């Protein structure tokens, strides 16, 4: 592909023509705000939109109810565009408000911008398909509808099902507060439920007859907190008590449950820490005379960066015209910033009181380290994977917050989403038209793996589905 301005203009024209449809899809997903593996309507609105554009759909891909793959073209190379659409629990919030104002107390909300993420990647797929049709270009473009990134490891289950086995390269993005090619490593992680079953009894008349499951959970947490000192410094333990056994303090709780999330730079390190946490849980069960059931929930691998692919995406990010913002958009963003905490406000001040980010950050050839986790990591072990971050919110907006949710249907968010579609489309088209570029990208990917092979932490008998828990 000639990376002349006319090509960027063609992509921009396609997405301008489709902009109302794309914005409508993103906003509908924002409205649905469905959490992991329950994104039935969100997945379907994307799938239907792609079907209308002439893609061939495989629904329930890999046996996962809310996963799908939309394909156009045939043969090599196969370029994948990864989309997400799950929300987060407890982040319900009215759109366009600079005041915390839930739509539904305790309801869900798009606190990580995945309504934009899924639609922005779809925009790129639509543009690439149209350009391939016009030029007669050979190859395959695929949109992967990936559920449950937030703690569900959807892509890890899709990888286990072999859905990425013939892919040559994968491209994706994430909403952010700046524009940059994401070039960093991330933490591997897993989530495991520990459920203790004891014996209920009257806490005053016959406490000696009871065996407290809640005691077991508390002892496990104490033991794990002591364990923190004796794992690698980069390792992290997080937990949430998902069932405390009831509301009656005069009853010895017969059932209780805790969910653990373990993080470390490498999958093998996570696995080793998990085994030690399991031993702590077994000890807690022995101390309390309770039974222990361990249920694996989800996992995601560490992220493998690719400099060669990153530089290609950087070129297109810099060459694509960034959006301009209106006075109303600046005013709204600034109003949201006023609700931030001291740390975020200090970041803003350090950047000369920046309200909205424009321009593109320089590409860093040496990958940094980001203390988060993503199931994009599982894909990155199998195929070279590139990712951009694009501004869709006020600068310094904390993610997984109501402030991010309230901006999710704004014109600021929509502009960033459409910019993403242009950049991903241009990157995909160059890879399709110049498949020889993939040789260097794949060679670097092989070097970065350093002889290691992908080994998911997910047990073979674990099926991806939301695990229903007692309220």
Q: pLDDT tens digits for 112-122?
A: 999 999 999 99
Residues across the chain: 471
CA distances in angstroms from 254 to 210, 257, 410, 417, listed in the order given: 8, 10, 48, 49
Residue with tokens 């350093």: 450
Per-domain boundaries in the chain: 5-185+302-449, 188-300
pTM surpassing 0.75? yes
From the list 149, 141, 19, 100, the residue with the least C-alpha distance to 335 is 100
pLDDT band per the 50, 70, 90 thresholds, residue 1: very low
| Residue 465 pLDDT exceeds 70 | no
The per-residue pLDDT for 471 is: 35
Please identify which residue in the block is written with the tokens 């569900």: 152
**Tokens linked to 385:** 């994977």
Output 324 or 372, whichever has higher pLDDT.
Answer: 324
E strands within 366-432?
A: 368-370, 385-391
CATH of 5-185+302-449 among 3.40.630.10, 3.40.50.720, 3.20.20.70, 3.30.70.260: 3.40.630.10
Whole-number Cα distances in Å, 67 to 40, 59, 176, 385, 428: 9, 7, 24, 19, 22
Across the chain, what does the average pLDDT equal?
Answer: 95
Angle of helix 114-135 relative to helix 40-52, nearest 10 degrees, comes to 20
Residue 166 C-alpha from the chain's centroid: 22
Residue 470: is its pLDDT beyond 50? no
| CATH of span 188-300 | 3.30.70.360
pLDDT band at 294 (very low <50, low <70, confident <90, very high): very high
Query: Is 466's pLDDT higher than 70?
Result: no
Average pLDDT estimate for 164-171: 98
* Tokens read off for 183: 């070039």
pLDDT class of 461 with cuts at 50, 70, 90: confident
Q: Is-contact 301 377, C-beta < 8 A? A: yes
Q: What does the longest C-alpha to C-alpha distance in the chain come to?
A: 83
Mean pLDDT of 202-231: 97
Confidence of residue 5 (pLDDT cuts 50, 70, 90): low
In CATH terms, are 5-185+302-449 and 188-300 the same topology? no
pLDDT tens-digit series, residues 68-107:
999 999 999 999 999 999 999 999 999 999 999 999 999 9
């Amino acid at each position: 592909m000639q990376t002349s301005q006319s090509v960027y203009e063609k992509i921009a024209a396609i997405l301008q023509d489709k902009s109302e449809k794309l914005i409508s899809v993103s906003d509908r997903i924002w409205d649905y705000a469905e959490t992991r593996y329950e994104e039935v309507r969100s997945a379907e609105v994307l799938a239907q939109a792609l079907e209308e554009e002439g893609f061939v759909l495989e629904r329930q891909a890999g046996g996962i109810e809310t996963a799908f793959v939309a394909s156009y073209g045939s043969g090599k190379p196969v370029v994948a565009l990864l989309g997400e659409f799950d929300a987060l629990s407890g982040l319900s919030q009215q759109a366009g408000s600079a005041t915390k104002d839930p739509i539904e107390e305790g309801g869900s909300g798009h606190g990580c911008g995945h309504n934009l993420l899924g639609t922005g990647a779809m925009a790129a797929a639509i543009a690439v398909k149209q350009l391939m049709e016009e030029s007669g270009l050979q190859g395959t473009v695929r949109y992967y509808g990936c559920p449950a990134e937030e703690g569900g490891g959807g892509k890890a289950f899709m990888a286990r099902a072999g859905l990425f086995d013939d892919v040559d390269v994968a491209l994706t993005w994430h909403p952010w507060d700046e524009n940059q090619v994401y070039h960093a490593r991330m933490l591997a992680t897993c989530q495991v439920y520990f459920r203790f079953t004891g014996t209920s009894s009257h806490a005053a008349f016959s406490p000696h007859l009871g065996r407290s499951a809640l005691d077991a959970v508390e002892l496990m947490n104490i033991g794990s907190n002591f364990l923190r000192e004796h794992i690698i410094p980069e390792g992290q333990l997080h937990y949430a008590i998902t069932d405390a056994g009831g509301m009656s303090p005069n009853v010895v709780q017969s059932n209780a449950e805790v969910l653990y999330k373990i993080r470390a730079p490498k999958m093998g390190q996570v696995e080793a820490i998990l085994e030690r946490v399991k031993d702590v849980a077994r000890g807690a069960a022995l101390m309390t005379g309770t039974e222990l059931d361990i249920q694996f929930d989800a996992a995601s691998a560490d992220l493998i960066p690719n400099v060669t692919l990153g530089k290609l995406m950087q070129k297109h990010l810099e060459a694509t015209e960034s959006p301009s913002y209106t006075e109303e958009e600046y005013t709204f963003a600034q109003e949201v910033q006023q609700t931030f905490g001291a740390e975020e406000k200090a970041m803003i001040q350090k950047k000369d009181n920046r309200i909205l980010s424009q321009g593109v950050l320089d590409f860093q050839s040496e990958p940094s380290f980001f203390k988060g986790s993503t199931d994009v990591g599982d894909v990155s072990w199998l195929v070279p994977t590139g990712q951009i971050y694009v501004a869709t919110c006020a600068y310094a907006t904390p993610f997984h917050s109501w402030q991010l949710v309230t901006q999710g249907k704004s014109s600021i968010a929509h502009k960033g989403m459409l910019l993403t579609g242009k950049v991903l489309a241009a990157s995909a088209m160059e890879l399709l038209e110049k498949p020889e570029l993939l040789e260097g990208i794949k060679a670097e990917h092989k070097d970065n793996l350093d002889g290691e092979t992908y080994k998911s932490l997910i047990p073979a008998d674990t099926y991806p589905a939301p695990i229903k828990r007692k309220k």
